[in-house]
Chain A
């Protein structure tokens, strides 16, 4: 089986977010980049399945400039076999999805896996868009993922319960919490890092697709007034404030 997994290059979850150029650009100063947490979860699951005996070739795909290559190399060091980078700035989602659909068409992949959402632009749109470009079935935010022969067994949390699903290849899925049941972080060792340097990383140019969305300005949340401290021996005061001042009870 050949899997194509989308690897996002996103600011570390603990990053302090700032903007420059009159709040029109994300300030990348001092930002440490990581593989998107949901994509890392998905990759970990694929590697676990492979370790357990599923025959699998894992290719990563990233839409991004050369700056994303250390993140891609990290995915290779974790155990992916090779990588494709579409050499373009990742901004508009339809543009990104179109690029990934093209990469899929140009290889003989059986499945595309994305994270449930990126933690920077929080779109959560890629898997549906890619699937639609390719006219393939998809499941978003799968909370369980198994492969049994030519079948994919999935679970998805829905209103009031869990939905168990069955799909066949080719297929598109986005990984939510639970996708990898007991994720052991795969911290690349020295050998992994050395081998990753030699693994193929193919750079392709993007296909044309007009951007239909554009971010024109960023805002930080309004600073909150200082927390009102309440004496632990006077909890009635909290009840009064929640009722009279905050009006939430």
Chain B
């Protein structure tokens, strides 16, 4: 029995979502009476690797192959497979992010392991191994039984509370065998984005819709985001009209987000939009139309004109931040 957690680092650093995976893995390990091993690539510094121990990982395997500095789903799947076999992993946990979505399906074929994607909670039973996952774009959940000996899950971000649980961590270096041909997709160039907070990482999102009437009115949205240390996002029509960049579009066909607080301004709350944000812990809606469907999904609502309400709210947030 062993649990392997795939911990992706970005430029040698781990993000909070990785500590969430480790915390979750440790909780599952307790149920199964086993321990957690993390695996990562790119040789992060020892001090960085040790952070995983703060959340309860007893071991981290650092894959040293330099070719893995470039991402290839095929190469990463080979490397992860070798580590999984080395520690006899029977449960492998990924984040439900672009890396997990690229590697986990391949590993599932290699190990003939059932894969549950988009898991949102601890297993409701370990035998048979049953997890809850998001289905119908968040309009429902399903209990999935994974029947194979080796199991793989991808955990939705912000599904589990990060908790420290310090243990001594062993660091082990590992050199994987990557067959030729695993780099058939060639990276040409990376175009860096503006460096703003990504919508999937933000704990608070301030989101604007067509009710804001034009891109020139986003100043107050950005101001609110700055006061709250939040990210900004938008509805589909706004990104389709090019008022805001596509990476800000949240919804069924955009990014799926689950922040602690989602503030929707001038967004009516069409079912397709709600499908992308209904994992948020708390939702606030500000809209002129009392019939806007978003009021049925939200926790707090203000019926009013955004151009009057938002500046007042920004002042109130500013005052609150100054006092707290």
Contact = CB atoms under 8 A, between A and B. Distances in A.
A14 interface: yes
B137 interface: yes
A243 B324 contact: yes
A122 B301 contact: no
Interface in B77-123: 77, 98, 101-106, 108-110, 112-118
A44 B296 CA distance: 35
Interface stretch (B47-55, B169-177, B247-255): B247-255
Contact of B77 (A13, A132, A215): A132
Contacts of B102: 128, 138, 140
Nearest to B182: A137
Nearest to B297: A224
Interface residues of B, number: 91
A109 interface: no
Interface string B146-167: 1110000000000000000000
B108 A230 contact: no
A129 B106 contact: yes
Contacts of B127: none
A93 B130 CA distance: 16
A184 to B, nearest CB: 12
A227 B285 contact: yes
The secondary-structure label for the interface of chain A is mixed
B272 interface: yes
A216 B105 contact: no
A97 to B, nearest CB: 7
A139 B185 contact: yes
Contacts, number: 261
B105 A213 contact: no
B65 interface: no
A232 interface: yes
A133 B105 CA distance: 10
Interface string A209-221: 0011111111111
A216 B101 contact: no
Given A212-B114, A221-B278, A239-B316, A37 B193 contact: no
A141 B98 contact: yes
Interface in A139-169: 139-141, 143, 154, 156-168
Contact of B143 (A133, A177, A219): A219
Contact of B117 (A123, A139, A228, A242): A123
A213 B115 CA distance: 7
A163 B114 CA distance: 30
B208 to A, nearest CB: 17
Indicate the size class of the contact surface on chain A: 35 or more
Contact of B184 (A13, A140, A168, A211): A168
A218 B105 contact: no
B186 A178 contact: no
Contact of A213 (B145, B281, B296): B145
Contact of A216 (B137, B143, B187, B191): B143
B144 A13 contact: no
Contacts of B275: 13, 119
Given A125-B101, A221-B141, 7 more contacts: A13-B275, A128-B73, A128-B102, A140-B73, A161-B191, A216-B130, A230-B301
13 contacts: A13-B272, A38-B253, A94-B112, A122-B133, A132-B108, A132-B110, A138-B185, A161-B190, A212-B146, A215-B143, A232-B308, A238-B313, A238-B316
Interface of B: 10, 71-74, 77, 98, 101-106, 108-110, 112-118, 130, 132-148, 184-193, 195, 198, 204, 228, 246-247, 249, 252-254, 260-261, 271-272, 275, 278, 281-282, 284-285, 295-305, 308-309, 312-313, 316-317, 319-320, 324
